[in-house]
Amino acid sequence: MTTIEDQIEILVTWQALELEVGVTERQIAARMEEITVLDQAAAERESLVSAEKEALSALKKAYRELEAESKINLAMIAKSNEKLRSVKTNKEYQSILKEIEETEKKNSDIEDRMLEQLELIESQEGAITTKAAQLTSFVGNCQEKKQAAEEEIQQARQTVAALKEKVEQTRAEAAPQTIATLDRVRETVRGMAVVPAQGETCMGCHMNIPAQLFNELRRYDEIRFCPHCRRIIYWKEKENA
């Protein structure tokens, strides 16, 4: 049959294991959050490049529309020049010349706008090429970080599984009444439920305990509690500085 000191040691071990489980699970959560952030960052960069490509498509569409309009104007000019050969009056001749002049002016403006569009298209294509290369590098870097995080998560999950198995094994070693006592304490206190007393001080709430209680702890004849925080306390020799 185990002694009270043995039972306390089991509780301390159990608590330490559960704390380690909590720390490791928080590490897993942090790594998962890191993966989410990386995915969001990559998606945002990809969205920006997609927006640049859509803007380029709009520029090219506008250029094609100007080009089509220019071809129509050139055809009209050619047709008007052909009509000049068959006119019979000066008034009609002058009217067609004016029409040709207006169409040529209109087409000249269109050609100027086409040149502007070409410059914008070339500039946009250059920017997209640069940003696409940067995106490829960024996404690759994100993938490397994600892979490292996923490997850490996998290892951490294995650690948690092993720790939880030890928790159950340790719990099985404790007496049922001891487990019941610990569960009651854990329902009423925050943080650690089993803490040492050093130098007549509870290391859970850092309040002084009665000297008599401190002396009784050293006997390990029953489980005792801090009169202030109600944690399970046990005697631990003060470590040398």
The mean pLDDT value for 220-230 works out to: 95
Domains and CATH numbers, the chain: 4-174 (1.10.287.1490), 178-235 (no CATH)
Distance CA 15, CA 25 (A): 15
pLDDT at 179 over 70: yes
The mean pLDDT value for 151-165 works out to: 97
pLDDT in tens, 31-65: 999 999 999 999 999 999 999 999 999 999 999 99
* Residue 2 banded pLDDT, cuts 50, 70, 90: confident
The mean pLDDT value for 215-219 works out to: 92
Task: Give the global pTM.
Answer: 0.74
DSSP one-letter code for 235: E
**pLDDT of amino acid 210:** 95
Backbone angles phi, psi at 4, to 5 degrees: -60, -40
Instruction: Report H helices in the chain.
Output: 4-84, 90-173, 176-188, 211-217
The H or E element that residue 233 is part of is strand 232-235
- Going from the C-alpha of 72 to that of each of 66, 108, 125, the distances in angstroms are 10, 13, 28
Distance CA 233, CA 223 (A): 8
**pLDDT of amino acid 238:** 59
Q: Of 75-79, 88-92, 134-138, which gets the smallest average pLDDT?
A: 88-92
The mean pLDDT value for 183-200 works out to: 92
**pLDDT of amino acid 240:** 44
